Amino acid sequence: MKKKKKIERSKVIGLFIISALFLIVVIVYGVNKLFSREYYEIVPKAQDAVGMVKGYEVVYEKKGWLQVQGTSISLPVLYQAEKNYPVELQGYSWLTDYSPGFHNHFEIMGHNIFNLSSSPEIESNDFLRFEQLMAFVYYDFAKENKYIQLSYEGKEYLYKIFMVGFIPTADTILLPPGLDYTEEDMQEYISRVKSYSIYDYRVDVSKNDKILSLGTCTRFYGNNNDWEFFVVGRLVRNGERVDNYSVSKNDQYVKVEEKLKGSEENEEM
């Protein structure tokens, strides 16, 4: 009888150990899953990124689809050889240059007609173009939103933002042209754009990376065409984590902050 009880007890202990093990495994798995959650979830749009569209008697080819984290920018990326991109046409962006294949330098432009002021709005129903790109001028927004997704030729590409800033229109001509940068071109591009960045992003960028720049017009610094606003990212590298890396304001931001403050004092009428 005693023996029987002993056997029973050991069975229960064994059962307990097994269950505990099982629980540990599940917990570890769950935590692992939790911590490996990516900061940006890719929303596939590749199938929407092809085809032909028309606007204002102009035929465009859809070359891709663009999504910017934290914004309502989810737009087709068009291309048209004669580069006819009217402001009146809504809901699109365009490639400044195109040839088949994936390149290490893409530049996508979009119109900004409703968010040109020196106190840009974060969002609005009127923002059907690149207006919402101006939200990156706010540090809090920039802190939270780090990723740009480009759907292109059937694949999804994710870029980490490493530069946000205002580039003088005249200086944009100094950026190396073309889609396929040499290492020297890339180095020059990176160092030029970073010199205008109002933030320092904790992202390593090198001449071997692939770049996507988003640009639009602004009147942030006055009623002239002297400035353009850029948000530039580099392709997430193989095996790199999609996390919320840090960003901080730098010296260039002082000028921006002053402008933002100044415009606050001039309330909208």
Question: Should residue 268 be labelled a site residue for other proteins when binding is judged by CB under 8 A?
Answer: yes
Q: 155 by DSSP, 3-state: which?
A: strand
Question: Should residue 43 be labelled a site residue for other proteins when binding is judged by CB under 8 A?
Answer: no
Question: Should residue 265 be labelled a site residue for other proteins when binding is judged by CB under 8 A?
Answer: no
Question: Should residue 97 be labelled a site residue for other proteins when binding is judged by CB under 8 A?
Answer: yes
Phi-psi region of 138 (alpha: psi -120 to 50; beta: other; left: phi over 0): beta
CA distance 73 to 68: 6
Question: Should residue 178 be labelled a site residue for other proteins when binding is judged by CB under 8 A?
Answer: yes
3-state secondary structure string, 197-248? ECEEECCCCCCCCCEEEEEEECCCCCCCCCEEEEEEEEECCCCCCCCCCCEE
Question: Should residue 262 be labelled a site residue for other proteins when binding is judged by CB under 8 A?
Answer: no
Q: Between 107 and 247, name the residue whose CB sits nearer to other proteins.
A: 107
Between residue 209 and residue 238, which ones bind other proteins under the rule CB under 8 A? 215-219, 222-225, 228
Between residue 115 and residue 174, which ones bind other proteins under the rule CB under 8 A? 115-118, 121, 124, 126, 128, 130, 169, 172-173
- Identify which range of 63-71, 104-112, 195-203, 244-252 contacts other proteins by CB under 8 A: 104-112
Distance, CA of 192 to chain centre:
19
Q: How far is the CB of 239 from other proteins (least distance, A)?
A: 14
Query: Which one of 2, 34, 81, 101 is in contact with other proteins (CB under 8 A)?
Result: 81
Cβ pair 112, 123 in contact under 8 A: no
Q: Between 67 and 216, name the residue whose CB sits nearer to other proteins.
A: 216
